[in-house]
Amino acid sequence: MLKAERHKYIMTKLVEEQKVVTTDLALALDLSEDTIRRDLNELDSKKLLEKVYGGAVQVKEKSADVFDIHISGEEEKKAIATKALSLLHDDQVIIMSGGSTNLVFAKLIPSHLKATIYTYSLPIAMQLSQHPNIDLIFIGGKMQKNAMVTIGMDVIQVVSKIKADICFIGASSINIKQGLTEIGYEISIVKKAMIEASDRVVSMFSADKLNTKMPHVVCDLNQLDTIVTNLDPEDARLEEYRKSGVFIL
């Protein structure tokens, strides 16, 4: 598909839905997320849309506040993240991956919670830096600028030495046969290390990620302890996941 055709498709979807999501566009157009991000950046530079964390929205006045990151579908993600708050308690050691749902979750963590949180996501680290009782460790490394996360061996070496009680891992896609999968190889490797370092693994995602797949496997479904979605746990769309033994919130 020519770039002009991609741009026309993106702008059409934006008019129809008022927002576009990078991972959804990558799947629909059978392209890499990096290609989609470049397209969104180019359209943003032409002021045809506003690039936001995880996708793009229709043009609006931009905030000068670096902490004010617009998140597409934030209300839905709040509903998901609110369910997961029940998994937190004082004195946990936690690892958090990047992703917009995890960022919303970070915003909702109660101010009284005392915990240690490791993350390689710059937006999540920025959010948690405002928390009065969180001992925050930002894992440095090569910055993947568009996603605002660190990647590479420096990150993996740090994560491999952590003994975490729980990790909250974002999901680009999930299905019964392949489990969690990612479009980016480097991110998939970091997430594998997170899982290995944690006693309990929780993945939060919206229902549109169900029964989809990306090129790089993160983990089998049986390596997840809990999944949290915007659906009722008894929803028929989750039946095969319930049968697999994973706990559903």
Per-residue pLDDT, averaged over 162-179, amounts to: 94
Q: Are residues 152 and 98 in the same domain?
A: yes
CA angle 193, 159, 102 (to 5 degrees): 80
pLDDT computed for residue 98 by the predictor:
92
In-domain check, residue 184: yes
Return the CATH number at 54: 1.10.10.10
Confidence of residue 16 (pLDDT cuts 50, 70, 90): confident
pLDDT computed for residue 70 by the predictor:
67
In-domain check, residue 199: yes
In-domain check, residue 67: no
Cα–Cα dist 49/141, whole Å: 30
In-domain check, residue 63: no
Is residue 210 within 8 A of residue 227, CB to CB? The reply is: no
pLDDT computed for residue 26 by the predictor:
92
Is residue 94 within 8 A of residue 118, CB to CB? The reply is: yes
Q: 166 has which bridge partners? A: 94
Q: Are residues 141 and 183 in the same domain?
A: yes
Greater pLDDT, 161 or 68: 161
Q: Are residues 51 and 78 in the same domain?
A: no
Return the CATH number at 105: 3.40.50.10470
Q: Are residues 35 and 93 in the same domain?
A: no
Rg of the Cα trace of the chain? 18
Q: In this prediction, what percent of the chain has a pLDDT beyond 70?
A: 96
Per-residue model confidence as pLDDT tens digits over 75-89: 899 999 999 999 999
In-domain check, residue 91: yes
Q: Are residues 52 and 83 in the same domain?
A: no
Q: Are residues 171 and 229 in the same domain?
A: yes
Is residue 72 within 8 A of residue 55, CB to CB? The reply is: yes
Per-residue model confidence as pLDDT tens digits over 122-132: 999 999 998 99
Split into its structural domains, the chain has a count of 2
Chain centroid to Cα 196, Å, comes to 18
The backbone region for 84, taken as left when phi is positive above 0, alpha when psi lies in -120 to 50, beta otherwise, is alpha
Per-residue model confidence as pLDDT tens digits over 198-219: 999 999 999 989 999 888 999 9
Q: Which of 59-68, 134-143, 173-182 has the lowest mean pLDDT?
A: 59-68
Confidence of residue 184 (pLDDT cuts 50, 70, 90): confident
Per-residue model confidence as pLDDT tens digits over 30-85: 999 999 999 999 999 988 898 888 899 887 654 444 456 667 778 899 999 999 99
In-domain check, residue 68: no
Q: Are residues 167 and 117 in the same domain?
A: yes
In-domain check, residue 64: no
Domain containing 123: what range?
74-248
Over 60: is that where the pLDDT of 116 sits?
yes
In-domain check, residue 213: yes
